[in-house]
Amino acid sequence: MTVLSLAQQAAQARTNSVPCRTYDADLWFAEDQASTDKAQRLCQRCPLQAACLSEALARQEPAGVWGGELFERGQIVAAHKPKGRPRKDADEIAAVAAARLAQRLVEVSQALEEDSPELAEQLSEAVTEIVGAA
């Protein structure tokens, strides 16, 4: 399934509430955290969220918000990486971000259990890796 097929699926369902078709597309590829947070909130109400996330994971999307998650270099990340030198409390911030990401992955995994059990299993394994590394 491609981005085009997701759009076609939305059109066939006569869904006008798909946020990525309603709002400016740049919002899903913004570099500032506030815009990214807004895009993620808008995705939470989208009827295609699970399918979008599943396909983005399969394609290893290089960037942007897909299915309510932020992708960078084909991986889900908790937040944009700040520019410049790392903060002195970077380890603490990274631990909080990892915990937030792990919690979100658990939620997504539970939502996908019925539709895509193998993807749910992959997410569960990712959660285990993240929690172990934190």
Give residue-wise pLDDT tens across range 84-108: 777 788 788 888 887 887 787 778 7
Q: Indicate if 41 and 97 belong to the same structural domain.
A: no
Please compute the mean of the pLDDT values over residues 70-91 and round it to a whole number: 82
Q: Indicate if 60 and 90 belong to the same structural domain.
A: no
Residue 70 · residue 36 · CB < 8 Å: yes
Q: How many domains does the chain have?
A: 2
Tens digits of residue pLDDT in 1-57: 566 666 666 666 555 678 988 899 899 999 898 999 999 999 988 888 888 888 898
Query: What's the CA gap between 2 and 87, in Å, rounded?
Result: 38
Q: Indicate if 50 and 68 belong to the same structural domain.
A: yes
At residue 1, the pLDDT reads: 53
At residue 18, the pLDDT reads: 85
Query: What's the CA gap between 127 and 100, in Å, rounded?
Result: 11
Q: Indicate if 94 and 56 belong to the same structural domain.
A: no
Q: For residue 18, give the amino acid letter.
A: V
Q: Which two tokens stand for residue 47?
A: 């009827």
CA-based end-to-end distance of the chain: 33
Can you give the residue range of the structural domain that contains 93? 82-134
